[in-house]
Amino acid sequence: MNIAGIPIEIKGSALALLLLSAIVGNPLHIILLFAFITIHEFGHIGAASRYGLVTHRIELHWYGGAAIIPSVGLIPKQELQIALAGPAVSLLLAGIFAAANSLQPVSVLSDMVDINLMIAAFNMLPIFPLDGGRVLRSLLAMRGSARATLISLRIGLVVSIAAFIALDFALMPGILAILMILFNYRPDLMKE
């Protein structure tokens, strides 16, 4: 599938989650979640295009999505703007749906507010590969830290472990926290 010339790859894990939600109940929330994750990723794509970066594709997985954009050679300010663009889009959508819901309360509008707020909040956690991890790294680099990636990876590791503990080792969030812990403890990146 392509949207605005950008290929959208729906990975098997995302399809499995959609199928599971259809079997056990109403898949509307999962469909909305993936639709809003895709729109969130287009926020990153729009910001990246300002710097001449070409997006290869958007990938949708069971745990979220990613716009595949080469970022080699970006200065920290550019990385910051690109990282903040996705959450900004999610917050804008939440605001629009909240305003519409205040005029005419409808449960699906309330759900759309919640979904977009959740996407924005989750993505702003200071954990790689989330937007918050990229924001943290770019802010550290703008302050002159030559070890911005190393510091942000270590902070992401601590936050991932804390999230795992705080979520009381719940199954799905726990699995996601473990993946984040593994991603943030990459010795090859720790040698910066």
Amino acid at 29: H
Secondary structure of 81-137 as H, E, C letters: HHHHHHHHHHHHHHHHHHHHHHHCCCHHHHHHHHHHHHHHHHHCCCCCCCHHHHHHH
For residue 3, the cross-strand partners are: 6
From the number of C-beta atoms within 10 Å of its C-beta (0-12, 13-18, 19+), residue 93 rates as buried
Three-class SS state of 12: helix
DSSP 55: P
User: Of the residues 9, 41, 79, 192, which is catalytic?
Assistant: 41
Any catalytic annotation for residue 192? no
Report the catalytic residues: 41
